[in-house]
A and B are shown apart, each in its own frame.
Chain A
Amino acid sequence: AQTVTQSQPEMSVQEAETVTLSCTYDTSESNYYLFWYKQPPSRQMILVIRQEAYKQQNATENRFSVNFQKAAKSFSLKISDSQLGDTAMYFCAFTDTQGAQKLVFGQGTRLTINP
């Protein structure tokens, strides 16, 4: 079974700093998708970024980028120039390309951006 692990329950940084959230996963599949979701206090899950495992290039979306290391099964999220609106729970998630079309989530990291 696939598992996703986020080892940082909470993180806190000052506004405008750069912060990196860690995620590791375990799978025997060779092709899969990885995601970072943001859940602000409104509780609405928002897709931040998506990475396809067969693509070597790390995904980037504006201030958000990932460091995808397939051999190490690591998928970290870097937030540059952090903003107060980035305060949220962040979840790393995995889905394979075969079989059950479900998302497997990590435990989550609560990120606080301080003014």
Chain B
Amino acid sequence: AQSVAQPEDQVNVAEGNPLTVKCTYSVSGNPYLFWYVQYPNRGLQFLLKYITGDNLVKGSYGFEAEFNKSQTSFHLKKPSALVSDSALYFCAVSDRGSTLGRLYFGRGTQLTVWP
């Protein structure tokens, strides 16, 4: 069965500091991995994905994520946080063999960036 763990409910960082939002996964076979962001009263917005190839994936708004197969992790990172990055972040996984677009989500991590 596919599953995603986001071990931190909340991450707090100061503006300008680097940020990391953690994600580990469990999936049979090779995974498709995704990060989404949800702003208040909004739907989910796609940030980035890992399908194959380079382990370091770059996405929207300066975010990047590193796929680590041995640690089954896909942590989201940004070198310099902005107050506007404050939102709820979801990691998700899809099994290559599963229905296209069907995602399994982590419980979400609330990121707060203070000025």
**Is this pair of chains taken from one and the same complex?**
no
